[in-house]
Amino acid sequence: MKVYIGKYKNFIGPFQIAEFLCFWAKREKDEYGYEHTADWVHNFGEWLSGGEKEDSWLMKLCLWIENKRKRKIKVKIHDYDLWSMDHTLAYIILPMLKKVKENKQGIPFTDDEDVPEELRSTSAPSKENDYDTDDNFERRWEYILDEIIFAFECELDDSWEDAFSSGKHDTKWIPVDINGNEVPEEEAKLYQMCKGENDTYTCDYEGMKVVHERIHNGFKLFGKYYQSFWT
């Protein structure tokens, strides 16, 4: 697999051109302390665009150029990428998920049913206004992200299963007839696999099942909130 995805294209229009031409102009601060382009530079850009109608020849030219510009995206899939495709995709998805958690540019709405009781909106203090988010709003998304990341980590590294087993296998094959009765080897029709005298292998299948269910749920959450990764 070879993937190249270039940066998003930045629109270059009359306002951007005005800022470029007036590069020496000092930026101003609004009442909240945020910097912005000087008003006269903005007005210059508005004049270049054609005012409220934004129909100047320069604006039309900028829009025409923008239509011709395309984001560079090249994806080549090899046949071997399809072997264990779920595993292949995890190499790409997992680091992106971790980056999302690190940057956290936005937090989507989530359902209470997807998180433990203590993280649900019903467990948070009452909101002052209906349009406010509750105190568990961000924590719910962090929990869901962690569960999704856990699922993809386990997809790439199944060594977690080792914690649920111990000992060594000792297998012996017993010659049997068609009814399952032990017989001399020369009369055997089948062989029955049994534990040998030195077999010490044990496995906590119930504990392993709990983790498998958590992994399965993590993938379900990924599918459910897939469109929330636009931020």
Instruction: Give the whole-number percent of the chain exceeding pLDDT 70.
Output: 100
Which residues 6+ apart lie within 8 Å of 47 measured at CB?
none
Q: How far apart are CA 8 and CA 182, in angstroms?
A: 71
Confidence check: pLDDT of 36 > 80: yes
DSSP label at residue 32: T
Q: How sure is the predictor about 37, in pLDDT bands with cuts at 50, 70 and 90?
A: confident
Domain extents in the chain? 2-73, 84-164+205-230
Q: How far apart are CA 147 and CA 149, in angstroms?
A: 5
Alpha helix segments (H runs only) across 69-136: 85-103
**pLDDT of the residue at 58:** 96
Q: How far apart are CA 28 and CA 40, in angstroms?
A: 11
Q: How far apart are CA 47 and CA 21, in angstroms?
A: 14
Q: How far apart are CA 101 and CA 122, in angstroms?
A: 25
**Helix and strand element counts for the chain (H, E):** 6, 8
Q: How far apart are CA 94 and CA 229, in angstroms?
A: 13
Confidence check: pLDDT of 231 > 70: no
Among 16, 25, 20, 23, smallest CA distance to 59 is for 16
Q: Average pLDDT of 52-66?
A: 94
Q: How sure is the predictor about 166, in pLDDT bands with cuts at 50, 70 and 90?
A: very high
List the beta bridge partners of residue 203: 165
Alpha carbons within 13 angstroms on the beta-carbon side of residue 139 total 13
Across the chain, mean pLDDT equals: 92
The CA distances from residue 171 to 153, 164, 186, in Å, are: 32, 20, 20
Record the pTM.
0.76
